[in-house]
Amino acid sequence: MLNTKSIQLKIGATFVSFLFLVMIISLFYLPYEVNYMVVEDRFLPPSLEHPFGTDNFGRDILSRIMQGSQTAFLVGFTAVSIGGIGGTIIGAIAGYVGGWIDEIFMRIMDAMMAFPGILLALMFITVFGSSLTNTTIALGIMSIPGFARIARSGFIQYKQFDFVKAANGMGASHVSIIFTHILPNVLSPIIVAASMSFAGAVLAEAGLSYLGLGVQPPDPSWGRMLNEAQSYITKAPWYTLAPGIFITITVLGFNLLGDGIRELRDPRK
Amino acid sequence: MAFLLRRCFTFFVTILIVMIMTFLVFRIIPGDPALTILGMDAEPEQIAALEKELGTDRPLYEQFLDWAGGVFTGNLGESLRFSQPVSELVIDRIPVTLSLAIMSIVITMFLAIPIGIYSAKKQGSWVDTALSITTQIGMAIPSFWLGIILMLIFGLTFKWFSPTGYVPWSENPSEALNSLFLPSLAIAIPQIAVVVRYLRTTMIEQLQLDYVRTAKSKGLKEKSILYIHVLKNALIPVITIFGMIFADVLAGSLVIEQVFALPGFGRLLISSISYRDLPLIQGMVVIIAFIVLLMNFIIDILYRWLDPRIELK
Amino acid sequence: MSESVLNVNNLEVNIKSSKGTFPVLENISFNINKGEIVGLVGESGCGKSMTSLAIMGLLPNQAKWTKGEITLSSKQLQSLSPEEMRKLRGNQLAMIFQDPMTSLNPVLTIGYQLIESIKLHLQYPKAKAKTYAIDLLTKVGLSRADKLIYQYPHELSGGMRQRVMIAMALVCNPTLLIADEPTTALDVTIQAQIIDLLKELNKKEGTSILFISHDLGLVHDLCDKVFVMYAGEIVEQATVQELFDNPQHPYTKGLIQSLPLPEKKKERLYSIPGTVPGIHDRGQNCRFSSRCPHVTEHCTTHHPSQIQISKTHVVHCFLSEKGGTTSG
């Protein structure tokens, strides 16, 4: 496996750029209106006019996939922002302050991690109801513990460094030490985690939407498309392909990007 | 002993926090649970009656102690939708989900360990590269999509396995196995990818250590070096990720049960969400979290017990 | 003369790097007789360990044996298959390593690691192998051997682990034991104990030992013959007596001078300036010329050939050619 480092990064970046491009194009141009139904065009197999075929309402699957990329990016980006900012602040305080504050914060993070996968999000959705906003917030909260752990270990490591002690001695405030002295040093593992969490959020959103608990109609979502596709699996087996492939390359792209950045930053591994 | 005591202590503290969190999410945040259940336009009398039934008219700490005490004695309250004790409903569904989880883990171990060893042995070859690409894809594929595809190919097209539904073990063990195989495989595949990658990395790290050179200088056969000396060292850290894998398998079964219409934990939980059956959901969430914490607890102790370098006593 | 146990003749090993293929060992020739303890001395990076790995047939993947012969008790090692070579290891040919802390498998018991070797090479049944393992551990000076076999490496001290390593090497009573810096990682008192144990083994069992070290002091205490290596070549060989009484090569002199001896307590310890040239910068010159205090222009352009000082003393240095100029 020679040079997987650069290859991982390149493939990851290519997939992510491709999806980003699809998302940008979908903002300005779609082959068909996403909810335009043509009853006589139901379950058309892939053709030049409809490269991915049509669904049970005769809607163009390609257009819905393209529109769905907006949902994926919106959910991924917002969830990672919530998780990244929240988790980093919690981890920074826990690691920097230490002592019983650290103990309490980390126990709470451990407790959150006891709710596997989408369970935490399911709890949130039960209470607040299912919608795009609630799903996104739930997925953001779900990713907080991961970021908190990474930030915490970075802060524990760096607070013992001489330059931090020096800054402390010179009377720099704790807030300034946290943000200007330590944070830049622990940013790269956080960026790696952000890329991986993006992948995780897209996967979780797809799962929730498949269960009918995530993005609600008429917003198109790859996960919900798979749910519809399953109902008509014998009639239109191609319907299941496009959404599944798009979820996979999104997750793969962000995972590889994260791996690539990590290996770039840490040449030992 | 110090470790065991400390680990037991954190185990119980974490369970307590999990319970408080679950309790608070379901009681405080939505404002009024009775309102949440009945909807905004409910009559005041209806609300008062339900509040009495749920006990939400009493002080919060009292409600918590009541509920927590119930959790420890197996009394999780009564389902609003089925008017049946939550514990009964849960016990009914456990065999399906547990079978699914166990089968997934067995499949994961049986496939991932040999593939991981092989990949490490062939490090740098095209087989290794191909496996590395496959595992990356395996980790990215959503398991429910994989389930749909497996069902389409092996259930509907070739008809080797039953596409949906469940036959209890007590009725027909081979039918039960048949009905659970595809969903277990769908849950297992991403986990196989994770274990293969992890095992490969640890094996390669171990192969560079001095003790391997010693083993070679003793004239040991390649096989004994790989399968006894290196594998034993490499599997000990792999055990630690099985806690995470167990949690993922459980989470995976929540969705996969929906794909294959299996009457397990997940299906009950998901269907209860649209009914807003709060006592049932709350009970199930706590049970799942408890199982995950218990597994992590067991694995932590197992790890220390298997690694002779760490003193358990 | 007594019979030869190991004969290395004109050994050359190349190593492949991103910059091309370079020799790490060139013209390595030496002989070890039965019952002899032979020292192989030099700084780190001079090719001592590579020589021992070549003899063991355990060269790393990037390294390739390109020339020369190694003969172990009349067996030509280069003509053996990997499987035949494997059977030789741990049998007639045994080795102990520098760091006993990492050289044993941390998750297998001492007994397991010893018994697996006994079962493999001697085909003893389990009970007999266990008794033999306990005997071996007792022989290398470990007490309570019957308990020790159930213990893990981390429960033992460094000196004890090195004794276990020696016990493992002795399973088949090897004709040649290679000891690669076996005491470097140990305390001074433990060091002396391990040296004594090696001496005792040599005397009692007649095991020939190739003792690899950077410490001339230890070599002086233990060995009969010494080979001094520098940058992948042997630059001087002699009996211990000759080497310390009449060192010829400036490098040998430097090594002797840098020994901390009691009579020069007050002086600053001497150290040879500079470092061993890397494998990429070795040309057709005397490889020590860049660090030699007596360097002449001839040294920087020509490679010195072998000069016989006595029947047992050989040096590769232009200074010795003219005789007498080396007294400085």
> Which domains occur in chain B, in start order?
1-87 (no CATH), 89-306 (1.10.3720.10)
Q: Is the distance from CB of C208 to CB of C33 less than 8 angstroms?
A: yes
* pLDDT score recorded for residue B209: 92
| H or E element, residue C234 | strand C233-239
Residue A28 lies in a domain: no
Ordered by start, the domain boundaries in chain C are 4-92+172-322, 103-171
pLDDT of A50 over the 70 cut: yes
Please give, rounded to a whole number of angstroms, the shortest distance from the CA of B309 to a CA of chain C. Answer: 6
Residue B200 CB contacts under 8 Å (≥ 6 apart), including other chains: B116, B119, B120, B123, B128
- CA separation for the pair A179, A184 (Å, rounded): 7
Summarised one tens digit per residue, pLDDT across range C104-135 is 999 999 999 999 999 999 999 999 999 999 99
Neighboring chain B residues of C56 at a CB cutoff of 8 Å: 217
Q: Could you list the beta-strand ranges (E) of A175-238.
A: none
* pLDDT score recorded for residue A181: 83
- For residue C20, give Cα distances in angstroms to B275, C35, C233, C276: 72, 41, 20, 20
A211: closest CA among B46, B144, B70?
A: B144
Q: What mean pLDDT is reported for chain A? A: 88
CB of B32 within 8 Å of a chain A CB? The answer is no
Report the C-alpha dihedral over residues B70, B76, B79, B85, rounded to 10 degrees: -90
Bridging pattern class, strands C176-180 and C208-213: parallel
CB of B313 within 8 Å of a chain C CB? The answer is no
Q: Is the distance from CB of A134 to CB of A75 less than 8 angstroms?
A: no
Query: Are residues A126 and B144, on separate chains, in Cβ contact within 8 Å?
Result: no
Residue A211 lies in a domain: yes
Which amino acid, C90?
Answer: G
- For residue C328, give Cα distances in angstroms to C249, C261, C293: 11, 20, 10
Token couple for C242: 């000759």
Q: Is the distance from CB of A192 to CB of A261 less than 8 angstroms?
A: yes
* Touch test B–A: 3 Cβ pairs or more under 8 Å: yes
Residue A11 lies in a domain: yes
Out of A2, A213, A233, name the one closest to residue B148 (CB).
A233
Q: Is the distance from CB of B76 to CB of B66 less than 8 angstroms?
A: no
Which amino acid, A36?
Answer: Y
Residue A44 lies in a domain: no
Query: Are residues B232 and C108, on separate chains, in Cβ contact within 8 Å?
Result: yes
pLDDT of B212 over the 70 cut: yes
- Give me the sign of the Cα torsion angle C191, C192, C196, C197: negative
Please give, rounded to a whole number of angstroms, the shortest distance from the CA of B272 to a CA of chain A. Answer: 9
Segments in A98-143 forming alpha helices (H): 99-113, 119-128, 132-142
Domain interval for residue A234: 4-19+52-265
- CA separation for the pair A78, A70 (Å, rounded): 12
Neighbours of C137 (CB within 10 A): 25
Q: What is the CATH number of the domain that holds A204?
A: 1.10.3720.10
Query: Are residues B258 and A211, on separate chains, in Cβ contact within 8 Å?
Result: yes
Identify the closest residue of chain B to C117 by CA–CA distance.
Answer: B218
Q: Span B68-81, mean pLDDT?
A: 85
Buried b (16+ CB within 10 A) or exposed e, C167-196: bbbbbbebbbbbbbbbbbbbeeebbebbbe
Q: Span B139-146, mean pLDDT?
A: 94
Query: Are residues B14 and A249, on separate chains, in Cβ contact within 8 Å?
Result: no
CB of B305 within 8 Å of a chain C CB? The answer is no
Per-residue HEC secondary structure of C158-182 comes to HHHHHHHHHHHHCCCCCCEEEEECC
A109: closest CA among A95, A96, A124?
A: A95
Touching subunits for chain C (3+ Cβ pairs under 8 A) = B
Segments in chain B forming alpha helices (H): 2-27, 33-38, 44-54, 60-73, 86-121, 126-140, 143-150, 173-207, 210-217, 222-224, 231-259, 265-275, 278-306
Identify the closest residue of chain B to C165 by CA–CA distance.
Answer: B214
The secondary structure of residue C278, as a DSSP letter, is: P
Q: Is the distance from CB of A6 to CB of A14 less than 8 angstroms?
A: no
* pLDDT score recorded for residue A3: 53
User: pLDDT exceeding 90 applies to what percent of chain B?
Assistant: 51
Query: Are residues B254 and A118, on separate chains, in Cβ contact within 8 Å?
Result: yes
* pLDDT score recorded for residue B288: 92
* pLDDT score recorded for residue C323: 53
- CA separation for the pair C181, C97 (Å, rounded): 7
Nearest-5° Cα angle at A229, A228 to A232: 95
Number of domains present in the structure of chain A: 1
* pLDDT score recorded for residue C325: 43
Query: Are residues A127 and B136, on separate chains, in Cβ contact within 8 Å?
Result: no
CB of B307 within 8 Å of a chain C CB? The answer is yes
Neighbours of C112 (CB within 10 A): 17
Please give, rounded to a whole number of angstroms, the shortest distance from the CA of C173 to a CA of chain B. Answer: 13
Query: Are residues B289 and A115, on separate chains, in Cβ contact within 8 Å?
Result: yes
Helix axes C158-169, C126-139, angle to 10 degrees: 120
- CA separation for the pair C232, C229 (Å, rounded): 7
- For residue A218, whether the previous peptide bond is cis, meaning omega lies within 30 degrees of 0, is yes
pLDDT of A1 over the 60 cut: no
Backbone angles phi, psi at A14, to 5 degrees: -65, -50
The CA radius of gyration of chain C, in Å to the nearest whole number, is 21
Buried b (16+ CB within 10 A) or exposed e, B75-94: ebbbbbbeeebbbebbeebe
What is C4-92+172-322's CATH topology?
Rossmann fold (3.40.50)
Q: What mean pLDDT is reported for chain B? A: 88
Neighboring chain B residues of A114 at a CB cutoff of 8 Å: 14, 18, 247, 289-290, 292-293
* pLDDT score recorded for residue B313: 46
CB of B32 within 8 Å of a chain C CB? The answer is no
Q: Is the distance from CB of C225 to CB of C6 less than 8 angstroms?
A: no
Neighboring chain A residues of B276 at a CB cutoff of 8 Å: 126
Residue A39 lies in a domain: no
| H or E element, residue A194 | helix A183-210
* pLDDT score recorded for residue B40: 66
CA atoms within 13 A on the CB side of A183: 18
Q: Span A47-54, mean pLDDT?
A: 83
Order of strands, sheet of C37-41, starting from the edge strand that comes earlier in the sequence: C93-96, C176-180, C208-213, C37-41, C225-230, C233-239, C313-316, C306-310
Out of B209, B217, B233, name the one closest to residue C56 (CB).
B217
Order of strands, sheet of C4-17, starting from the edge strand that comes earlier in the sequence: C20-33, C4-17, C63-72, C75-76
Token couple for A71: 């949902």
Please give, rounded to a whole number of angstroms, the shortest distance from the CA of A7 to a CA of chain B. Answer: 11
Summarised one tens digit per residue, pLDDT across range A69-95 is 999 999 999 999 999 999 999 999 999
CB of B123 within 8 Å of a chain C CB? The answer is no
Residue A121 lies in a domain: yes
Residue A41 lies in a domain: no
Query: Are residues B309 and C165, on separate chains, in Cβ contact within 8 Å?
Result: no
> Which residue positions in chain C have pLDDT lower than 70?
1, 262-269, 322-328
Identify the closest residue of chain C to B217 by CA–CA distance.
Answer: C89
* pLDDT score recorded for residue C327: 37
CB of C132 within 8 Å of a chain B CB? The answer is no
Residue B32: pLDDT band with limits 50, 70, 90 = low
* pLDDT score recorded for residue A172: 79
Which amino acid, B193?
Answer: A
Summarised one tens digit per residue, pLDDT across range B177-193 is 888 999 999 999 999 99
Query: Are residues B214 and C103, on separate chains, in Cβ contact within 8 Å?
Result: yes
Residue A116: pLDDT band with limits 50, 70, 90 = confident
Residue A153 lies in a domain: yes
pLDDT of B171 over the 50 cut: yes
| B 97-126 residues inside an 8 A Cβ radius of A | 123-124
Phi-psi map region of C194: left, alpha, beta (phi>0 left; psi -120 to 50 alpha): alpha
A69: closest CA among A43, A121, A35, A30?
A: A30
Q: Is the distance from CB of A125 to CB of A213 less than 8 angstroms?
A: yes
